[in-house]
Chains A and B, each alone.
Chain A
Amino acid sequence: MDATEIGLWGVPLAILGGAIRVSTPFIFVSLGEAITERSGRINLGLEGTLVFGAMTAYAVAVMTNSPWLGLLAAAFAGLCFGLFHGWICKFPKVNDIAIGIALMLFGSGLAFFFGKPFIKPKAPNLPAIPFGGWSDIPQVQAALDVNVLFLIGAVLSVILWWAFRNTRAGLIVRVVGDSSDAARAMGLNPDTVRLAATGVGGALAGIGGAYLSLYYPGSWTERISSGQGLMAVALVIFARWNPLGCFAAALLFGGAGALGPALQSVGVTQGYYLFYAAPYILTLIIMIATSSPTRSLAGAPGELSITK
């Protein structure tokens, strides 16, 4: 096995590489969820959007032979899912959390339904940039093979962080998220703003799904997501609704996800399935550590139903 050549250094290197590879969908879903939650609504359906986005991207990439068209299609599909969630939650007495669960099941069902013929064919992958070219060590090269979407995600989190603080649109989303009444007093329509925020959130989740099927793991199967969309919801809470925090938290989760395979590559196979559960356990621990029964979370949008 190659990893033994550089000894135990292979482990942190594999975790770093894994963090970069695995974190990208988390970055996109959590940024999307952060926008939606900042507007005062929660969309648990992003899990279904992620799966449907992965299927759409793969199917379109297979048919057109262009991964970029696949990516666009996934973003559009995600936008539709987000807008649907936003529209249906406008009605009185409709619970946004329950609708999210329903859309999670519906999105996965629809993806499995239309994705059946695409389990076999091979789609073209999204390109990666080999930042490790300076090194002769294959592990370093593998770890630093960075997909363009990761870079876009990193830039996007900085832009969003800046936009929330400094732009008119950012202010509008924040006001609507903190108080519907204040927003109405300013002449804003909270439903419209939330509709837009949920739509954008869905589009970003669709892009996260496209990364899954078009780069890593890089094929369409029905087990492609396993809860990443949902972990992103917890991740946004952990990141305190801050886009830069989302980026950092996504890297942390990616690293946790890479722990099992990294240890396996140096021969540690005990407890393989428990290491596979590491991201879920990490999410749960973080949620327990950051929640509090006595005070509301710092930075939480006032209109958000899960923190009320």
Chain B
Amino acid sequence: MTDTVTGAGVPALFGARVYPSALEWIARRAEAFVIPLAALIVGMALFSLFIALVGKSPVLLYETMWRGGFGSWFSIQNSLSRAAPLLLSALCVALPARLGLVVIGGEGAIVLGGVAAAAIGVALSGAPSPIVILAMGVAGLAAGGIWIGAVGALRHYRAVNETISSLLMAYIAIALMNQLVEGPLRDPASLNKPSTQPLADIYRIGNIPGMDVHWGLVVGVVACILSWVLIEKTRWGFAARIAGGNVRAAQVQGLAVGPLIVGFTALAGGFAGLAGMLEVAAVQGSANASLAAGYGYTGILVAFLARHNPLAIIPVAILLGGIDASGGLIQRRLDLPDATVLVLQGMIFIVILFSETFYGRFKAFNPDLWKRPDLLKGTA
């Protein structure tokens, strides 16, 4: 379809004085926005039904959720803090997804990124703080990148299913962390919660000026924007999208699919590893079992809700960060188990995946019918 104003010689359906591609662009964007939003609302409606069935008030629940997530400056800051690791762990799912891979073991990369960063931070203690923080970031990126990059390599060179291998590797990573934190890296002073040596205060990452949110949020947002540029505006992103559509076609075109897959999965894992580094450097101050807090799994949901679009990940991560943040308040106010938020997330996830079936089915999103409303009347 052309960008020019149509005139003579163009099929009658497009009529005169319209901009077909612009309309189509709007229609596609509207569809990509309305369907997930509707799915989100349906998911929340189903959840209110569930809450009503267990004898609580859905109205009170959503009110509490709003208050805990976005109702005050304090809770907004809390939500943004939780969104920071979600941005990065969602990229760990979204980037490989562009190549047609379903990687769900981001939790492993988070955990190992955190341990690697903590180990480097302690080993380099005494060095100037910018160097140490940078080294910790690189260590997190490298550890996560190697871990998920290996998943990509196994996928391409050995045809090992990436969904299962990444999850198995997440369990292995957590065992590895436990071994390191209990053994060689253990701080003897950490008694009932084994941890690595605490980082010196100068190596900790502070807050964004004027906010109670650490710099990880900025890192996450920048990573999302860079990922979007990578996918949409560079030739590597273009090659990845071709390979994601059809591997054979990409190989016939002479694209180096192997390095592409390993590179994308390594970058994705690197982002998750960076999330682990930020958890250590900004939140925990040392590596311990709290690194496996489930950000990797919530990240899967964020990525799917955003339809693997890195820019859409930003608002979705903040929304889910808010839901996460309100969990504690829901627990106290409504006397519900802490798994309530998990149930909500599961329901939304199922409805979102189910909504895939509706793409291309609604007449409202068909630009041809916008231009010829009479066609719509004929079929209605």
Interface of B: prevailing SS: helix
Spot the interface stretch: A11-19, A67-75, A136-144, A288-296: A288-296
Contact A109 B346 (CB under 8 A): yes
Contact B157 A293 (CB under 8 A): yes
Bound-complex Cα distance A95 to B354 (A): 9
Contact A277 B172 (CB under 8 A): yes
Bound-complex Cα distance A291 to B160 (A): 6
Interface of A: prevailing SS: helix
Which listed residue (A103, A226, A288) contacts B171, Cβ 8 A? A226
> On chain B, which size bracket covers the interface?
35 or more
Contact B176 A105 (CB under 8 A): no
Q: Is A46 part of the contact surface with B, judged by Cβ < 8 Å?
A: no
Contact B342 A44 (CB under 8 A): no
Contact A109 B339 (CB under 8 A): yes
> Residue on A with the closest CB to B258?
A293
Contact B159 A93 (CB under 8 A): no
> Residue on A with the closest CB to B304?
A98
Contact with A along B335-365 (1 / 0, CB 8 A): 0111110110111011001101101000000
Bound-complex Cα distance A101 to B172 (A): 19
Contact with B along A137-153 (1 / 0, CB 8 A): 00000000000000000
Q: Is A108 part of the contact surface with B, judged by Cβ < 8 Å?
A: yes
Q: Assuming A280-B172, A291-B159, is B339 touching A99 (CB within 8 A)?
A: no
Contact A112 B342 (CB under 8 A): yes
Q: Assuming A97-B102, A99-B353, A306-B161, is B175 touching A276 (CB within 8 A)?
A: yes
What residues of chain B lie closer than 8 Å to A231, measured between beta carbons?
Answer: 168
> On chain A, which size bracket covers the interface?
35 or more
Contact A113 B175 (CB under 8 A): no
Contact B160 A110 (CB under 8 A): no
Bound-complex Cα distance A291 to B159 (A): 6
CB A180 to nearest CB in B, in angstroms, measures: 18
Which listed residue (A113, A227, A234) contacts B339, Cβ 8 A? A113
Contact with B along A166-187 (1 / 0, CB 8 A): 0000000000000000000000
- Contact sample, A vs B, 10 pairs, CB 8 Å cutoff: A101-B104, A103-B346, A106-B343, A112-B338, A230-B167, A273-B176, A273-B179, A274-B176, A291-B158, A293-B157
Using a CB–CB cutoff of 8 Å, the interface residues on chain B facing chain A are 102, 104, 154, 156-161, 163-165, 167-169, 171-172, 175-176, 178-179, 182, 297, 300-301, 304, 336-340, 342-343, 345-347, 349-350, 353-354, 356-357, 359
